[in-house]
Every structure is written in C-alpha cells, then in structure tokens.
Chains A and B, each alone.
Chain A
C-alpha cells in the first residue's frame, strides 16, 4: 500500500516559552498508508484533535514535517491546502458542524460548489450521498429540525459527497447513543472497505477495537501503536 501520511517529529506548542506553555503534540512521528482504518485513542486533552487538525491540513505544526503523499504541506499555498481539504479529505466532527442557515441539501452541496461542479451533476452527487446515508427524504430540512443522529448522517453525507480519499472523523459518535453510534461506525467501515482511508478519533475502546490499527496518545506523545492487524 502506498504511503499516504507521514509525520516526522511533529510538535504543536501553544504559548511556547511562557509559563502557560502547552505541548499539545510533543514529537509525534506516524505513518499511515492508503486504505487503513486507524483509530486514535487517548484521554481528553491528550492531543487527538490537534493531531487530526494537522493531518487534515486545518492547522500547521509548530515544528516538524508533515508529508501528505510525499509533499511537505509547509510548501503548499492556502489555495492548494483548501483544495486538498475540499477534494481529498472528508471531515466529520463530534458537533456535526452543519451550517445552520442552510438546508440539508445545501449543506451537502457546499463542498461541491467550492469545486465548481455544475448544478445538475451536483444535484445527483448530493442525492447519491444523502441516499447512501438514508436521509434523502430530509433534504429540505434545516439542521435544527433534525435529531443528532440525523444531523451526523447529513454531516457524513457532506464528507463523502466529494468522494474523498481520506475520511477524518473526530469523535463522530461522541454525542450519540450507542445504537446510533454503531450505525455511524458501520458506515465508516463500509467506506473503508470501498477503499477510503479512515482516521477515527474516539474515547470508546469498543469502537477503537473495530479498527485495523489503534494509536494511543497521552500528553501529546504516541504511547502505543498496534500497527495494522492482519
């Protein structure tokens, strides 16, 4: 499998040199290959979200290199990084992060609009994604009119509408009951089987156990990496 992600001694340090200095990431080196299903686990405040934000090109390390498909993201312009987030990465957040003023349909459409995809084509892609998530009938609703589980399905539909190569999910089941959480997890597994690399952050050991690989973080350091289970 081709190397997708490679970090070399990555640090993320807040208020460096001050008394209030926080080392959210304290020298993280990790490799992830295409097609993996990785669970990142760790206690609250251990640096999981920080790592995911950097891997997802939403944030930059204070020090250290992050190579995405061999390219050092430091060298990339904001425009290129935006394109990468747009086309190659699908984000799923604990708090769903839907735009409240837009309907389900429009929310899922948004990343496609930023790709300049034509309306009719866009419409089909949105429909596919919503149907896959079993929520197509709600396309005219606003996020506030949906349950948490439904909102997360919409958020996932938005993440997969662009057919990204990587899905990064930051505690996608954290705000949901276990039944709904398991449904969401089933979707992620399905996407992974179809070839998408999935990086999943979770507190829940039973969920982490379903991944091919588990990385445990504490105080910004990787303290355990199971490697890919065969």
Chain B
C-alpha cells in the first residue's frame, strides 16, 4: 500500500471520529504549547540579557596593572605601562577595537566664573530632579571614544600626537559643554584645569545613559599624558574593547600573556578581568531554569503521550473487527502498523499545530508581561515543536499499532 493511500486512510478515520480526535489533540497540545512557551521565553530572556550586557558595555576587558613600590611620599612609583599595552592591543586588532586608560582627573575646572570648585548639584525646584551636576574629567587615549562607544559631533578627537606631545587639549561631552558654555560653540574655547589652559577641540554626540542628567554626556576627556602638568600617578586601570563576544576570551588570554612578560612580578602585578565571566554565570543560571521548566514540560508531554497511547489502544480495540477484515482481504502486518502509526502521528501533528498556535500566544503574552518585549518563537523552536509532537505520536502509537498488527485475523474477525 502506498504512503499517499495510508495518509488518506488515516485522515478518513481521524475525520470519522471527531470527538476522539479532538481529545487526542487536546492531550498533546498543552504539553507542546508549554514546551514552546518555555523555550521561547528562555530564548527571549537570553537575548534580552545579552542586549542588557551590550548596553552595559559588554565585550569590554578591564586591565589593571599595579605596582608595589612607593616613594617616601607614599606615591606609587610604577612605570607607565600604557604605551606598551597600547601598541600590543593595536597589534592584535583582529580581536581588539581599542584601548584607553580609565581614570579621573582630580582637578578644578573653570571657565570664566563657572567653576567646578565647590560645585553643587542643582535641583529643579518644581520637580525636585537634578538639573545640573559638575562635569567629570577623565584621562583618555585616542581610542577612548571607541572603548566607551562615544561619537564625535563636532571638531576632532584626541590624536596620538596630542598624547605623545602632551598637548593641552580636550574633548567635551554635550552636557559638560552646556554646563560651561551654555549655547555657545565650545570648539576653540579654553578651559582652565587647576589654572592650566586646555583648548576644547571636539564635542561629543549625546549618548545618554537613561538617567535624568545623562552623566555619560557630562564628561571632559584629556590626553592621559597631561597628568605631567596636572599631577597624579601613572594610570593603573585600562579598558580594552574586544571586537565581539567570540574575540573577548581570546583577547583576554593574549593580553594576559603579554602582561606576564611585561610586568615584573617582584615589583607589581596585573589583573585581566571581564564581565563576561558574570555573563557566563548568568547563562548557566538560565540554563538551569530552562532545564527545570523543560523537565516539567517533558513530564507533561509524557503524560500526554500516555494519553495518546490509551486512546490509540481504545481505537485498536474498537476497530478489531475492521483490522480482521483488512487482514482477511490481504493487509500485511506492516500495512496495519503504518496505518495506526500514521494515524497517531497525524493526530499528534495536529495537536502540535494547535500547540504551536497557543505556544506562540503564550510566548507573546509572557514576553510582554515579564520583559516587555515581543518574543516570536524562533523558527527552529516551531519546527522542533512540530517534529516533537509527531515523534511522540510515533513513539506512543507504536505499541498500539504493534498490537493491532499482531491480532489473530480469525479472532479479530470474530469481534463485534
């Protein structure tokens, strides 16, 4: 008997027993819908956390290099490792996008009467929100913008030359520009850092950080070498921006290896760290939740499967006579087996389709409730749900089908 005929036959018997068919579909669709919802929501959640991390500056490596040597004033006498680190990072640019020191500039900044000395937070009288805060200054390399995802709106970035030649220039964020210059063009203006003149050469585009007064935009960036005039220790904290999450671990181990040869462990030490460790931990946690929920869903599927087996067994009993007739007029055992397997597979496949429908609704609703995002089930999840339900039908239909095929034709014929 050919396959098309088998499908036609299975369809006839499914359509002929509507109540029973609906029950079978019911017993499978809940499990499938649950599995789909769980998998989709988990996938959505992973995606969501991944997004959160990339907003938080994921793929970023923090490198700290510290010295155990101090002078009589208690100042660290560590050497400036940045040029070496900079050159190394730029030599592995297939993994690394940029590197920059990370450190506050401890200086009073002023422009005319506007100064950060004793500056206070100002609050909006009506709303009570922060209206303005003193800008913060950072030592930077020419790659600071890349590392911290800034973009330039106007003027120019700090250059390698600025850094090598201690040029007293700075790049300013929009909030900070507003703080000192209000609506005036900041380019070319001169800010005083502890009385030293620094010319504003560039203005950053607003980046925002979701807070009321956008701290990320309230910044001033100086060539890190200008600490020669402003004072302070050699930078010890550096940020490295890896190209992507795949490059991150490679970059980390390369940099670690490089620093091992660079830093004398008798006078200092280093640490290469990334939030991605935490990310892994998060993912493990998610995997664990998926496993627990998946286990529950699997149990519901097994229960559904047993329901199907039960219904199929009843079907076989109900149709004993028919099986006897079919055997008498020449159906082989294999024809009977495929007839019942196809029927079970089709029924469960239909249950799977209904399950996919409700699973999609479940994913959308839960995604909205839990994360306020729209989670459409992934194509592979949908395909797997359909495959799984048909598979369940075949697995749990196989015993009833086997039983049907092995009925004694004579006995089966005698049934009523």
Contact = CB atoms under 8 A, between A and B. Distances in A.
A97 interface: yes
Contact of B332 (A59, A79, A106, A113): A79
Nearest to B326: A110
B192 interface: no
A53 B408 CA distance: 11
A97 B413 contact: yes
Nearest to A54: B410
Contact of A82 (B2, B5, B324, B331): B331
A98 B333 CA distance: 19
A116 B1 contact: yes
A59 B408 CA distance: 8
Contacts of A47: none
Contacts of B333: 78-79, 82
B379 interface: no
Interface residues of A, number: 28
B325 A113 contact: no
B352 to A, nearest CB: 25
B330 interface: yes
B294 interface: no
Contacts of B5: 113
B330 A58 contact: no
Interface string A92-110: 0100011111100010001
Given A83-B330, A86-B329, A87-B330, A114 B1 contact: yes
B328 interface: yes
A55 to B, nearest CB: 12
A29 to B, nearest CB: 22
B194 interface: no
Contacts of A58: 327-328, 409-410, 413
Contact of A97 (B1, B325, B334): B325
A158 interface: yes
Interface in A111-136: 111, 113-116
B43 interface: no
Contacts of B2: 116
Interface residues of B, number: 24
Contacts of A115: 330
A203 interface: no
Nearest to A78: B333
A30 B335 CA distance: 33
Interface in B357-416: 408-410, 413
A189 interface: no
A86 B410 contact: no
A11 interface: no
B329 A114 contact: yes
Given A53-B410, A59-B409, A116-B2, A82 B325 contact: no
A37 interface: no
Contacts of A162: 330
A158 B325 CA distance: 11
Given A79-B334, A83-B332, 10 more contacts: A59-B410, A79-B332, A86-B330, A91-B328, A97-B324, A99-B322, A99-B325, A102-B12, A114-B332, A116-B2
22 contacts: A58-B409, A79-B333, A79-B334, A82-B330, A82-B332, A82-B333, A83-B332, A85-B327, A85-B328, A85-B330, A93-B413, A97-B325, A99-B322, A101-B13, A101-B16, A111-B329, A111-B330, A113-B1, A114-B335, A116-B1, A158-B329, A162-B330
Closest 4 CB pairs of A and B: A86-B330, A82-B332, A111-B329, A114-B330
Interface of B: 1-2, 5, 12-13, 16, 321-322, 324-335, 408-410, 413
Interface of A: 53, 56, 58-59, 78-79, 82-83, 85-87, 91, 93, 97-102, 106, 110-111, 113-116, 158, 162
